[in-house]
Amino acid sequence: MNRRAFLSAAPALSLATLPAAAAADPILPLYERWWFLFNEWNRLCTLLEDRVEDTPEMDAIFMERWRLYGQIADTAPRSAAGVAAMAHVMWIEEGPSSIPDTPAYHTEITLERHRLLQSLRRGALEMA
């Protein structure tokens, strides 16, 4: 399994089951759109894996995803669900870059920054 497939299989935050207060968090609609674009970009990468260059559609999705990433970075979460969503984005975009279940991955996940981020994700999900 490659990193792209592993990350796409990671559970997204279920927005349908959140309390009403969390639903008003400004992070959540940004996260929902970012997660959709992340998975759409990965789907296209899988379909076109033999191609050397990206398609214009892939470039547009990638640029929109990074625009949303910047918006998420500039927005303060207002609920535990918002913190969990932000931590999930951080894990996907800034977390380990090695292929899961390899020695390099197991080394990466022991780094303090990755352990800290994982603890933040777990704590926020438990509170959400």
CB atoms within 10 A of CB 24: 12
> Where are the domains positioned within the chain?
23-127
CA–CA distance, 105 with 73 (Å, rounded to integer): 25
Contacts of 112 (CB under 8 A, 6+ apart): none
29 pLDDT band (50/70/90 cuts)? very high
Q: Which pLDDT belongs to residue 114?
A: 92
For residue 25, the model assigns a pLDDT of 93
Inform me whether the pLDDT recorded for 2 exceeds 80: no
Mean pLDDT of the chain: 84
Q: What is the mean pLDDT of residues 102-115?
A: 93
Average pLDDT score over residue span 80-106: 91
pLDDT score, position 3: 46
Share of the chain above pLDDT 90, in %: 49
Q: Among 8, 7, 25, which Cα is nearest to 105's? A: 7
Q: Summarize pLDDT for 119-128 with one digit per residue, the tens.
A: 998 898 888 7
CA–CA gap between residue 91 and residue 7 (Å, rounded): 9
DSSP percent split of the chain into helix, strand, coil, nearest 5? 70, 0, 30
The dihedrals phi and psi of 55, each to the nearest 5 degrees, come to -85, 165
